[in-house]
Chain A
Amino acid sequence: GAGVSQTPSNKVTEKGKYVELRCDPISGHTALYWYRQSLGQGPEFLIYFQGTGAADDSGLPNDRFFAVRPEGSVSTLKIQRTERGDSAVYLCASSLSSDNEQFFGPGTRLTVL
């Protein structure tokens, strides 16, 4: 079957704008994760969903960042009032359940001008 897909693959926006990044997990995977990878760094955890609920959002840097997963499948990461420091690759991963291997999508490269 298909792997984790993320759209768009690239997003360029201006400082202060609002953006939404979408993640389609592997079908049947109940756990979904968002990570952020800055240039030259490893991924940093943002938020983890088990089903529809956010089980751990301790990695969200501030209240400009918000994520939803209303039906327990597709998830959207929302960033308000974007800042240049938000520029990074945003990775989504899913796993069959929370203890299983995480499968990563190709990421969305966000550039804030």
Chain B
Amino acid sequence: TQLLEQSPQFLSIQEGENLTVYCNSSSVFSSLQWYRQEPGEGPVLLVTVVTGGEVKKLKRLTFQFGDARKDSSLHITAAQPGDTGLYLCADRFQGAQKLVFGQGTRLTINP
């Protein structure tokens, strides 16, 4: 069974600050995905990374995939209140159709 560990579990910072959250896996990722979930809604896909060492950017968000494909980070530059939400990493363990999720990082950006 694959276990995804996210850290920190909670993060509260001021608007304009930078932050990084992490996702580590007990086994090599098949296809790592990052999601954001807002209260009362389902998760929304932000990015998929597949290749070790891959870096993807989405506006102020930078996603990095470890060379060994067992860890990933999400960096947000100049955080805004609209970035508030639950950030989840997930994997298609062993290429299966189901997603395995981490427990999430709950991010709060204070104005």
Contact = CB atoms under 8 A, between A and B. Distances in A.
A56 interface: yes
A65 interface: no
B97 to A, nearest CB: 5
A91 B44 CA distance: 12
A1 interface: no
A42 B101 contact: yes
Given A33-B98, A45-B99, A104 B104 contact: no
Summarize B's interface: helix, strand, loop or mixed: loop
Interface residues of B, number: 20
A84 B39 CA distance: 22
Contacts of B48: 101
A25 interface: no
A104 B36 CA distance: 11
Contacts of B44: 104
Interface in A63-113: 91, 93, 98-99, 101-107
